[in-house]
Amino acid sequence: MRWIFVALTALLLLLPVLVAAQQVSPSEVAVATLGCRALETYTDGELKVAAIVFHQRDEAQRSQLAALLRDHSGEMVEIQAGDGKWRRARMVRLKSCFGRGLLLLAAPAPVSEHAEFMLRFPASSEAH
């Protein structure tokens, strides 16, 4: 009987630790990353800002990008151009153009018109 009491006590003491270990921290959540294509790019050297109008690269990701644009318009994202560097940008949903977004970032634009790039959303984006 004593061993049952010891086992139950140990289980009750370890239960909070086991529950905490199973919870996933925000940094461990998979990050949403999509392939995109630049439709138009603009750079203003005087203001030192670049603007990129974009949409999804693959038709299969159209609805996923549309949802992420809708849910995260105005938020910071990251883009990766051909040089492999990730750059921070502000993403805005273009309400007048379904499934298209606008990226605002420091000039010069890291991609040219019709170029492909990767778009990475914050880890919390996967939870929506």
Q: Are residues 90 and 74 in contact, defined by beta-carbon separation less than 8 angstroms?
A: yes
pLDDT of residue 95: 87
**What is the residue-level pLDDT of the chain in tens, covering all 128 positions?**
554 443 334 434 443 443 443 443 344 344 689 999 999 999 999 999 999 999 999 988 899 999 999 999 999 999 999 899 999 999 999 988 778 999 999 999 999 999 999 999 877 544 44
**DSSP, res 96:** T
- For the chain, the domains span 31-127
Half-sphere exposure (CA, 13 Å, Cβ side) for 27?
0
Is pTM, for the whole model, over 0.85? no
CATH superfamily of 31-127: Translation factors (2.40.30.10)
Q: Are residues 54 and 66 in contact, defined by beta-carbon separation less than 8 angstroms?
A: no
CA angle 58, 60, 62 (to 5 degrees): 80
Question: How is residue 115 written in tokens?
Answer: 């170029």
Distance CA 72, CA 93 (A): 8
pLDDT of residue 122: 76
